[in-house]
Amino acid sequence: MVFAGASSVGEDLAAVLPKNQGPWYKQAHLWKLNFCIFSLILFSSSNGYDGSLMNGLQALGAWQTFMGTPTGAWLGFINAIYWIGTGISYPIAAWVANKWGRKTGVWIGYMFLILGAGLQCGANNDIAFVLARLFVGCASAWFGNSVPLLLNEIAYPTQRGVANALFNCGWYIGGTLAAWITFGTKDMTNSWGWRIPSLLQVLIPFLALPGFLICSESPRWLIFVGRSQEARQILATAHAGGDLDAPLINYEITEIENTIQFEKDAHNSAGYADMIKTPGNRRRLFIAISLGIFAQWTGNGVVSYYLALILNSVGVTSTSNQLIISACLQMWNLIFAVWAAFNVDTLGRRKLFLASATIMLISFVLVTALSGSFATTGNSATGVATVAFLFTYFAGYDIALTPFLVAYPVEIFPFALRSRGLTVTWVSTIVAIFFNTFVNPIALSAIGWKYYIVFVVVTVVFGITVYFFYPETRGYSLEQIAVIFDGDDANVALPAETSQKVNAMSATHIEEDHVEKA
C-alpha cells in the first residue's frame, strides 16, 4: 500500500501521517507553522537585495559621484567586501547554532543588519559606505546559517522538501524589491537617490520578524541538548495540533532521538575534521564545496553584480532601460525559482540539476557568440538578442542553483555536521564570489565578451559533476537521507525499526487507556 506523501518522505513515515484531515490550509496548526516557514524564507532576501542594489547603484549618477566613479579593482572590492563579512561570520554562526540554538544567530543577524544599513544610509564618504557593506554581509551570514537549519528542522515532513527549496528563492524577493526601489529613486538628483535604497535593506527582514517571534526553537536541537519533552511539545503543537501521542509525533521523536544518539555514540564531538573520516562524509564534503563554487562560476556572478557593464557592452546604455531590465530579470528569476521549489518532490533534485546545466550551457554559448558579434558589427538587434538569452540563461540557473545552493547541503549532512556542512558550502560560494566580484570587472574591461568562454567551460564541468556525484534525495526523511551516503554504516534507525518502536508505544498507550477505563 502506498500512502499519500510517500514520494517525498518514504512509505514508513507516510504511514503515520494523520488521515482524513483535509488539506493543510484547513488546519489551524499548519497555518501557524507555514506562516513561520514563510517568514523564515524572507530572511534569504538580504543577499539578493545586495546584488540587485549594487547593480542599480552603479547606474545612478549621484552614487557614482559620491564614490568617485569606481572602476576595476576598486569597484570589485566595493562589491566583494560584503562577502568578506559573510565569510568571517559563517564559521562563528555555525558554532553558535550548535551551542545556543538556531534562533540565537538570527538575533545577532538583526544587530548587524541595523548597524550596516544605518551606516550605509548615513555614510559621509566612500570608506564609510564600504565599511557598512561589511556589516551587512555579516548580517547575511547569521541569517543564512541559522534560518535554513531552523526551517528544515521544524517543517512538516511532507512539506519540508518544498519549504527547504523555497528558502533561497527569497533571494529574488530582495532582488526585485531593490531593483524597483532603485528605479523609483533614479530621478533624485541628490544623495537620497542611493541612500533610500540603502536604508530599506532592513525592510524584508523586519517584515519577517512577527513570524520569527512565534516560531519555536528547533526540536532536533532541543533533543540534541537533552530537552526531549520540550521538543515533543513543539512537534505535537506544530505537526499534530497538540496531540502528544499522535503516531506521527511518536515516529518523529523516536527517529530523531535514535539518530542523534547514534551520531553521539559514533563521534564524541563532531567537527570539520569528521567531514573527511568516512567515504560518505567525503562525498558530502565534495558536493558542498563544488556546489558552492558552481553556484558562482557558471556565469551568474558576472550578471548579478555587473549587469550594467554587460548591457553597456551590447549597446543598452540608458539608465532607465538598464534599471527596468534589472528589475524584470529579478521577477523572472523569482518565478522560475519558485516553480522549481514547488516541483522539487515531483521532479526530483537530479533532474532539475541536469536540466539547469543544459539550459545554462546552451544559453551562455549563445550569449558569448552574440556578444562577440555585437562587438564586431555593432548591430542593435544582436544586442537585444543577447539580453533575451541572458533571461533564458537565468531560467536555467533558477531551477536548480537558486533553490539547491542551501537546500541540498542542509539535506545531505547529518544533524551533527549540518550547520558546518552548510558553512562549507557558503564559504566556498563566498570565495568564488570574492574572486568573481574582484576579477570580473578587470577581465570584462580587458577582454570583454571573450571572458564568457571561461563560464561556458565551467558549466560543462558542472553538468558532468552532477551526473556522477550528486545523488537523488527525494523520498527520504531528513534523518534517513544519511542512508544514501553511508549505506549500512549510516547512524540512523532504519524505518522498519522506528515503525516497530512506534507500534509498541501505541500498543502500550492503548493498554494504559483500557486499565484507566476499567
Tens digit of pLDDT for each residue in 238-280?
999 999 999 999 999 999 999 998 888 776 566 888 899 899 9
Integer Cα distance of 420 and 67 in angstroms: 37
- Distant-in-sequence, close-in-space partners of 43: CB < 8 Å, separation ≥ 6: 106, 109, 143, 144, 147, 170, 205, 208, 212
- Please answer whether residues 205 and 46 qualify as being in contact, where contact means their C-beta atoms are separated by less than 8 angstroms: yes
405 is a domain residue = yes
Over the chain, what is the mean pLDDT? 86
> Which residue type does 9 have?
V
Number of structural domains (the chain) is: 1
- Please answer whether residues 235 and 482 qualify as being in contact, where contact means their C-beta atoms are separated by less than 8 angstroms: no
> Which residue type does 455 have?
F
Whether residue 1 is predicted with pLDDT greater than 50 in this model: the reply is no
- Please answer whether residues 340 and 352 qualify as being in contact, where contact means their C-beta atoms are separated by less than 8 angstroms: yes
- Distant-in-sequence, close-in-space partners of 291: CB < 8 Å, separation ≥ 6: 404, 405, 408, 409, 425, 428
Q: Classify burial at 226, counting beta carbons within 10 Å of its beta carbon; exposed 0-12, middle 13-18, buried 19 or more.
A: exposed
CA dihedral (251, 252, 253, 255) positive or negative:
positive
359 is a domain residue = yes
Average pLDDT over residues 284-313: 80
> Which residue type does 307 have?
L
pLDDT at residue 268, as a whole number:
58
Give Cα separations from 188 to 45, 62, 197, 198, 327 (angstroms).
Answer: 25, 8, 12, 14, 18
Average pLDDT over residues 232-240: 96
CA dihedral (268, 272, 278, 280) positive or negative:
positive
Integer Cα distance of 262 and 164 in angstroms: 25
CA 492-497-498 angle, 5° bins: 75
Whether residue 411 is predicted with pLDDT greater than 90 in this model: the reply is yes
What's this model's pTM, rounded to 2 decimal places? 0.86
Average pLDDT over residues 219-228: 95
293 is a domain residue = yes
How would DSSP label each residue in 405-439? HHHHHHHHS-HHHHHHHHHHHHHHHHHHHHHHHHH
Whether residue 313 is predicted with pLDDT greater than 70 in this model: the reply is no
Instruction: Compute how many other C-beta atoms are within 10 angstroms of the C-beta atom of residue 169.
Output: 27
- Which set of grid coordinates corresponds to residue 98? 550548535
pLDDT at residue 467, as a whole number:
97
Integer Cα distance of 462 and 290 in angstroms: 8
State in Å, rounded, how far the first CA of the chain is from the last one: 36
pLDDT at residue 330, as a whole number:
81
Q: Classify burial at 28, counting beta carbons within 10 Å of its beta carbon; exposed 0-12, middle 13-18, buried 19 or more.
A: exposed
Residue range of the domain that includes 109: 24-215+267-478
222 is a domain residue = no
Integer Cα distance of 127 and 112 in angstroms: 18
- Distant-in-sequence, close-in-space partners of 326: CB < 8 Å, separation ≥ 6: 52, 55, 56, 59, 179, 182, 183, 307
344 is a domain residue = yes
Integer Cα distance of 342 and 438 in angstroms: 35
- Which set of grid coordinates corresponds to residue 139? 548580517
pLDDT above 90 coverage of the chain, percent: 56
Whether residue 305 is predicted with pLDDT greater than 60 in this model: the reply is no
Integer Cα distance of 40 and 38 in angstroms: 5
- Please answer whether residues 40 and 151 qualify as being in contact, where contact means their C-beta atoms are separated by less than 8 angstroms: yes
Whether residue 100 is predicted with pLDDT greater than 80 in this model: the reply is yes
Integer Cα distance of 274 and 352 in angstroms: 30
115 is a domain residue = yes
| pLDDT digit string, tens, across residues 459-516 | 999 999 999 999 999 989 888 999 999 987 777 766 655 555 655 555 555 455 554 5
- Which set of grid coordinates corresponds to residue 71? 572602476
244 is a domain residue = no
What count of Cα atoms within 13 Å lies in the side-chain half-sphere of residue 189? Answer: 0
- Which set of grid coordinates corresponds to residue 436? 568573481
515 is a domain residue = no
Q: For residue 445, give the CATH number of its domain.
A: 1.20.1250.20
Integer Cα distance of 269 and 292 in angstroms: 26
